[in-house]
Structure 1
């Protein structure tokens, strides 16, 4: 609040505000007979009436920096009544680029706000009423660029008197899309120094109330490639550009709190710089032939000449070759198969200079090209194409472990399954299959070739190959069970969880310490199997191990440490006592032929006497006897003697172990008997 004050003509002062870069600072100006208030300070006039136009001569005129007064029920100034008076504030200021603003007014009693009074639509707030309560209103206004006048009229009829008004820019990027005006009054000069020249810039303050600061940009003279080099809220800036020998120009841009940036000032400069900057390093490459190392390199900007340096890779002393302005050079003195190092020195007219990186070359025949690899489960297949000369006599493939530190220990690969083919372009393509190395490990491979003149090439480009899989056997299967049946043993287990499962291997052991006998394999999609065998009451031990597609599997090692560890990895073992369905009455002693049997595809048992070296033949006729478990007796199942090589038992019990013997009748009426054979039948429908 800035209430009216009593003044004398001898000593009077008015408070004024000046803007500097959008920031308000208070200054004091001397009073004069005619009151003058420096923008953005308001000129305030008091009237002893409430006419809309505030007629008559003001009773008092002064300056007011802020409209925020509360006079209560008293008079606002000496010589004014406490009721029925009016106050008018006016200010004309430069709003710069203008933009969106918020006007806020409140008071007891009436208040009106004008933007550019006298123009159409000038009145922005109208609260002109006699009221006993405070009235207020907020409006959003877009102010055009340039100078504009604000006028605030206030009237108090009776009672308490208070008034408040403020205007602020809307600084949200959502609303403010107006760029600030470009800074004016830009100046420049530069100072010289031992490390380069420093540009010194200055400019006048912008008029925008929402100014956030200034951004300084630099560009090489003659270009429009502007680069921001600084941000400041002051109106001076110093910059030391790179000492490249170029000249630079500068541009200042204003930006507001919404992030809008003005166009730039006219280019300030140029500011010259000494040339203390070395050129960029040339990029050097070497291409080797059997008779030379051919060098080529890029030519950075500002370079006027080059020097080439060489040495044997095994030596430390460099040899400098004659200066050149070319970007290529051939070392025809390099010895075949010997490695040489090269570097190129590039320098500009001020003798600023830079070396390339060191590269190496070996005079050589063309090494194998387009080296690639595939990784089937059994190893790594290395492929490459022959160079156009097609003069290869032989080749060698090298492999090394590839640790992260980059060390290499090369060994020659035993290339099995070598292959040669021709690709679509007519190039000869060779392949080498490496079956060795660990699954899951990463190896580096190189390929060298020897031509028909006995010259070995340098190695090909190194490639890294990660062998698929791992070296870890799948874990032991879980919940392995064995069920004794009349026709064998059924094994059941939980499926192995490993993703690369290939199959299961089944072993039989007479004891956990005894070497296992492999009795079958089961596909990875199954987790059970039937071991079809006679149910003769034996105790059996079975082991089921999972195998992945990389061949990892638990192996029997025979307890070398004597601690009861018979397998290289944990395994699942199950014990089972077979059912015993053997005959309880012995068959007659075998005095004739041998007897065999098998179950055909229809599930019938084929009984097969074979009588080589005896006095009987199948044609002599024989009877077949089968053990009947229901009566615990041997029952003859043939009605008439069979004379065929096979006899089919279509009535054999299903899902059981069936026992047979055959008998022959001699001429004297006595019988001769074969040995006993067994047949294992499956349940019906199996």
Structure 2
């Protein structure tokens, strides 16, 4: 036979196994404050649950067998004592629950103050009952009252959710406390959320979608996520991607979605390869066109010449353009090519497997020279133009008034960039105040030619030379001949031209059997009024002339039939023999 005190020790041992430690008694009238979902229990030395409790502490559940004794650590009468268990907790979305109770002696169960089970009677054997109850969402309080009148004492109460799909139609609450962090280095989103309050929770599902779409896709796979965290690799398109988390109960009911969580992934997705590439040869170059590619910020065009003697030629990047068309003006003629085009998006991703087309470049006239200009220079005009962009130009020909200049060699002025700039001076053939038409012709190695736009040029100035230089003198010296003259007062004076002449003939200097042979020896600025000509002191008689020349090239030069300033002088020293 088990004594009442022995049964009490066994009951205390069972309580330790359930609670994980010794109950802590509260000898005051106040009930113990216990963390949910633990129960607060108070014991009374009467059958009416009245007056200050003898003890209060926390237990895992109202599941005790006191036998013929009393709870461990509590001094109660042998018979006629009572106890009250109280629990307040969050039941999440609520739903159908199954309540079971058994006791010897009396037991009553209250839910939110409403009595749901009533077996308040003195019995000699354990009595049992069960109840199906549907609870609304939120927090609820359950109270279990127990009384032991005489004889053995025990009780057991439990509540569990009903989880069959035919009974439970209540959706769980949506997860809360959600957050998302994104790692750009590895393109990974880490989602976190707070634990759901549901008692019948089975797990979670994670859904995602591009922000441009309203359709959700389950990204967490077919199974359920057990914990409150999940990692996902979003599409690396650079477009905003949105997540939500949903709770799932054991009946298969799925909650509404959590608050949306948005991340902006890196863009590592290349655009599609261009399609519909076509190419055609034309006089101005190879014309290419293709269909516009969705998401492309630009296109890179490549060119590869056909193999030469079986050796593959390098691939050349022709250009990067923003529109789906290009004319390649740089491809040499008389060659076959394969062109390819790749699409490039704003993040620099390049499309795979580029579109390709083969084109053979024929022999065409070169592109014309452009930008022809003319400027006044001494005794003529200086022409300048930008060379043809074609790379097979052999020469340029300059025409004035429809007639070509023979033997022209255009001079490269700027050879750092294409098209090069060329220049040519038409000297001596342009009279002041006259108008002429100039044309520049580009000629390629095949003899094809193209002409620039014609240019009309009117020379400036007059045809009247400055006045004869006055006061010209020549003084022989050991170091040469010093020439001096008075300054010319012409407003458009540009310079002085100095000439020296020697007598060629059999007779005396200046006689009828000879002639003066002139040679220009100096060009002097308009402010000069003297010039020392370093000549040997050999006693030779020579002639010097100084001519004033204006801005338009007019001057009274020797052999022009005009008067000019001249002077003869005999140099120091002995005259040459013969």
When the two structures are superposed, what TM-score results if normalisation uses the length of structure 1? 0.41
Instruction: Name which structure has the greater RCO, CA cutoff 8 Å, separation 6+.
Output: 2
State the structure with more CA Rg: 2
